Structure 1
Amino acid sequence: MTSSPPASASLPADRLTRGLLVPALAVAVLAVAAPFLGGYASDLVVKVMILAIFALSLELLVGMTGLVSLGHAAFYGIGAYVTVLASGDEGGNLLVLLVASMGLAALYALVVGALSLRTKGVYFIMVTLAFAQMAFFVFHDTPVGGGSDGIYLYVRPAIGPIDLENRLTLFYVVLAALAGTYGLLALIRRSRFGAALAGIRVSEQRMRAVGFPTYFYKLAAFVIAGALAGLAGCLVAARDGVVNPELLAWHNSGEVLLMIILGGLGHLRGAVLGAVAFTLLKELLSTHALVGPLADHWQLSLGLVIIAFVAWLPRGLIGLVQRISPEGSR
């Protein structure tokens, strides 16, 4: 009996195509709908897309590599601050600001990762949190970041005809960044590098035993994740026009961790679903017109809802998708 190499060889590509079909359709729908969205709806979608990029960057660490970090907001905040500080009063070149934000976030991630990856488990979590708090206090307690009040972005970035002062342009730039981030992580997931990260997540000891330098694989994942978080930080600074030290606070790291748990660990689509669900829940539960006086205590309501989600959907929201389309869950 002979095997069929062509069919088996094409299977990974077929799975990749099927896995990207729904995300590609979602991007197309958003691109078409953008001109018809009102100001509030457009701003909310942009916010969700930026948080989805942030969540995807942490998914690379937690879901794909098995590294739980409580300091990921540091890279997000650094990206935002670099954008504002490098823009000055005259505004800045969008491409330069993106490269600078991602580059400096990646550089800090390199330093943090080089030291924290020498620890494991709860010690790794606490070391990443400590580094994030150090960055937080640098911007909070020194003049470089405007102290607790933060600093303003007076002119949003632009490059040629792409000016983020235009609401529709900002929408499309953020959408392109989200699509690029998702596509990059999908390719990483199916590459040899991604396979090595998956092996580290399952059993790092076995990977070392067969000759893989696991420390450097983890460090590379940590730096890439930091760069992508810096990208999200750059975009949130361009969207809001102001940054403050709260962007680097530990609760932001906790929130993005909740997003990927809510969506479903180990799935790129789950990270996006988690960002959408978490943001919409916050919006709904803090709206007086919908929940009345409970809106003043939305954190309590949100906590109860998340507990219910985790109890009823232990695999996250992506578990619902898997029941419908197992092949398209990634």
Structure 2
Amino acid sequence: MTEAARPLTEVSTETARPAPSPPVLRRLIVPLVLFVGLAVAPFFATYGAESFILSLLTRVMVLGLAALSLDLLIGYGGLISFGHAAFLGIGAYAVGILSAHGIDDLFVQLAVTLAASAVFAAVTGAISLRTRGVYFIMITLAFGQMLFFLATSLASYGGDDGMSLARRSLVFGHAILENDLGLYYLAFALLFALYGLCRVMVASRFGRVIRGARQNPVRMQAIGFSPYRYQLVLYIVAGMIAGVAGLLIANTSEFVSPAVMSWQRSGDLIFMVVLGGMGSLHGAILGAVAFLLLEEVLADITEHWHIIFGPLLILAVLFIRGGLTPLIERTRP
């Protein structure tokens, strides 16, 4: 049948129907805009307070990386860890302690960070994952506080007062990271690479097993998968990524102290994940952006900004259901 001979109603219906937008492309819009914005931000920073903007955005990316690692546990594994900041401390102290002994090479520090984070995550995760619910929350908090008090007892490395770094890490013997722009793009490269790694991981069979174990661990075990083993691997991977964020924190602030692994910092990371949207990965980064920018804006208004900051975060969690990522996707045409 030719186009002219077909019924008018059929033709008009087909022409009026909008072409469906590819769901994969729609999901990529938010992270694409986010990473492109971070990539080009330094070029626009030259028109303002460049040093401040680079420092702030570097902090955003570093804490975004830490929140990203926690989103693996909460958003995909259903594991609410209240001691996740302990891994930040491991990465930070790996830099500080090695630097105190004259080892400033970034790749040596990174190797030690990954190894120490993996060992701590394997040992504590093997114990913590045998519990569920509030017991898991409390035991991860206990392990985090144990490491916190260990750091305060290291008198030779500053103890409770912390320690300053003589300089930032060296890359192949060169002080590339002494330049704020160099540190910025190192943080950006690590955030982008580890985001891609996490995206591949959660889309793989491993990720499907993790999500299945969150929904119904008994059924997953019945069909031949061991939820405990998969969750332990997830816990180790998340800890290693958070350790990398700790390494960047030490280089960003050029200072290491036990405060970086306090339970308050773990609470901040949970807030970032919830604020951005759990189970989206880029939502954790968005949460870090919103959290730190709001903190900076309120701090400029009043020295008592915590009084405003806390209720605002609570209201955001209560009324922005699902976090910022679903809100953006609902408002996007």
TM-score (norm 2): 0.87
Q: Measured at CA, do residues 306 and 174 of structure 1 come closer, stay the same or move farther in structure 2, by a change above 3 Å?
A: same
- Kindly indicate whether the alpha-carbon contact (under 8 Å) linking 2:272 and 2:288 is maintained by their aligned counterparts in 1: yes
The number of residue pairs the alignment matches comes to 307
Corresponding position of 2:269: 256
Q: How does 1:151-170 map to 2 (within 5 A)?
A: 151-160=163-172, 161=174, 163-170=176-183
Contact 2:84 2:239 in 1 (8 A): yes
| C-alpha spacing 1:252/1:318, structure 2 compared with 1 (3 Å) | same
In the TM superposition, residue 286 of structure 1 has moved relative to its aligned partner by 1.4
Larger Rg: 2
Per the TM alignment, residue 19 of structure 1 is displaced from its structure 2 partner at its CA by 3.6
Q: Look up the match of 1:132.
A: 144
Structure 2 unpaired stretches of 5+: 1-21
List aligned pairs for 1:221-236, cutoff 5 A.
Answer: 221-236=234-249
Q: Which residue of 2 aligns with 1:32?
A: 40
The CA RMSD over aligned residues, in Å, is 1.8
Q: TM-score, normalised by structure 1?
A: 0.88
Distance 1:212 1:245, change over 3 A: same
Question: Does 1:318 find its partner at 2:329?
Answer: no
Aligned residue for 1:215?
228
Counterpart in the other structure of 2:112: 100
Structure 1 ranges of 4+ moved more than 4 A: 14-18
For 2:288, the equivalent position in structure 1 comes to 275
Which position in structure 1 is the counterpart of 2:17? none
1:304 is matched with which residue?
311
Q: Is the 8 A contact 1:91 1:155 kept in 2?
A: no
Q: What amino acid is the match of 1:283?
A: E
Deviation at 1:311, TM superposition (A): 2.0
The alignment partner of 1:67 has SS state of: coil
Q: Which runs of 5+ in 1 are unaligned?
A: 1-13
1:71 pairs with 77, 83, 90, which one? 83
Match of 2:31 in 1: 23
C-alpha change, 1:302 and 1:279, in structure 2 (3 Å) is: same
- Percent of matched pairs sharing the same residue: 43
Letter in 1 for 2:305: W
Distance 1:231 1:17, change over 3 A: farther
- Given that 1:73 and 1:248 are in contact with CA atoms closer than 8 Å, whether structure 2 keeps it comes out as yes
Instruction: Write the mapping of 1:117-196 to structure 2, written as runs, cut at 5 A.
Output: 117-160=129-172, 161=174, 163-196=176-209
Cα deviation for residue 17 of structure 1 reads: 5.9
